[in-house]
């Protein structure tokens, strides 16, 4: 394989992929071919003719093996395919030590840890919530990453759908639910996290859902609890306007100490797992993403 596996968290990544794929070196090379394909067709400068040519040339058997996994069914599960694609992209970036462009919770783990440190010491137990969990890797990075720094935390997760994300990691509670109706009692949560969730709602002009989600966050947080939202630039929208709208929504609901800053994360996916294992990888500011924090 492209890199040797040293740390416990790295071994867990490899084991998870082996469990789901029976992965070998040849599998990883096939995954790299698909990775290159997805990167090329996602290039905003690519022509329609070039996209069609790439689709004509790609080996459909590889798409079936790693992304579609339909097993002969004529019905495509779009959510499962999306999860599989994200897992593939993250795995290739990890094993080939490629600069990470695929967002997951771990990509911004230092920013979320710093948010929790703002209200330390945390009670034992304390409950945190991740809203939205596209892949099993994101779930793993959230659960193990938070608990590596705050062992007293009981991680909670909700997603409106999920296939691989339903598989347990480490005593977390995963619930299929909608963020506009959080299935938790009032004043329970110490921290709530999102990664690239709000901007997707914003892109789809679903601002009423954003307001409902923020209201539910406020309801379920303890007094002094914190939200930590890491978001990319929305499509066809001025970032200053996006941030101003979010600050207005949060302020109207009673949130205070609202702070906007660049997110902090890692250059490569391997650094995520080094950080989880209490090593000291380089942490960098990401000018393409902002972190919004606010207290109840």
What integer pLDDT is reported at residue 154 of this predicted model?
Answer: 93
Query: DSSP string of 85-120?
Result: HHHHHHHHHHHTTPBP-S--GGGGHHHHHHHHHTTP
CATH 3.40.50.150 in the chain is located at 105-295
Question: What integer pLDDT is reported at residue 242 of this predicted model?
Answer: 87
Fold observed for domain 105-295: Rossmann fold (3.40.50)
Q: List C-alpha distances in Å: 150 to 120, 145, 198, 263.
A: 9, 9, 26, 20
> Given this model, what pLDDT does residue 8 score?
60
What pTM was estimated for this model as a whole?
Answer: 0.85
Give the pLDDT of residue 3. 46
> In angstroms, rounded to a whole number, what is the distance separating the alpha carbons of residues 113 and 141?
12
pLDDT along the chain (296 residues), means of 10: 51 56 71 95 93 95 87 72 86 85 87 92 92 81 90 90 61 80 95 90 86 96 96 78 91 96 90 86 90 96
């Amino acid at each position: 394989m492209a890199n040797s596996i040293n740390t416990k968290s790295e071994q867990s990544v490899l084991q998870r992929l082996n469990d789901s794929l029976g992965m070998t070196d040849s599998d990883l090379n096939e995954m790299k071919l698909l990775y290159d394909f997805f990167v090329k067709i996602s290039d905003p400068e690519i022509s329609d003719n070039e996209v069609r040519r790439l689709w004509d040339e790609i080996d459909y058997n590889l798409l079936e093996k790693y992304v579609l996994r339909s097993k002969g069914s004529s019905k495509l599960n779009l959510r499962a395919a999306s999860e599989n694609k994200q897992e593939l992209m993250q795995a290739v970036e990890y094993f080939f030590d490629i600069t990470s462009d695929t967002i997951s919770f771990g990509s911004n783990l230092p920013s979320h840890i710093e948010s929790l440190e703002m209200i330390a010491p945390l009670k034992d137990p304390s409950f945190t919530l991740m809203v939205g969990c596209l892949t099993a890797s994101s779930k793993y990075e959230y659960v193990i990453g938070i608990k590596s720094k705050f062992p007293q935390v009981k991680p909670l997760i909700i997603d409106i759908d999920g296939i691989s994300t339903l598989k347990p990691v480490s005593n977390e509670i995963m619930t299929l639910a909608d963020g506009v109706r959080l299935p938790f009692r009032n004043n329970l949560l110490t921290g709530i996290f999102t990664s690239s969730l709000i901007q997707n709602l914003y892109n789809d002009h679903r601002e009423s859902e954003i307001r409902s989600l923020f209201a539910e966050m406020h309801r379920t947080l303890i007094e002094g609890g914190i939200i930590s939202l890491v978001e990319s630039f929305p499509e066809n929208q001025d970032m200053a306007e996006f941030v101003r709208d979010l600050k207005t929504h949060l302020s109207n609901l009673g949130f205070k100490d609202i702070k906007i800053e660049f997110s902090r994360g890692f250059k490569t996916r391997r650094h995520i797992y080094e950080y989880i294992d209490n090593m000291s990888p380089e942490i960098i500011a990401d000018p393409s993403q902002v972190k919004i924090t606010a207290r109840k």
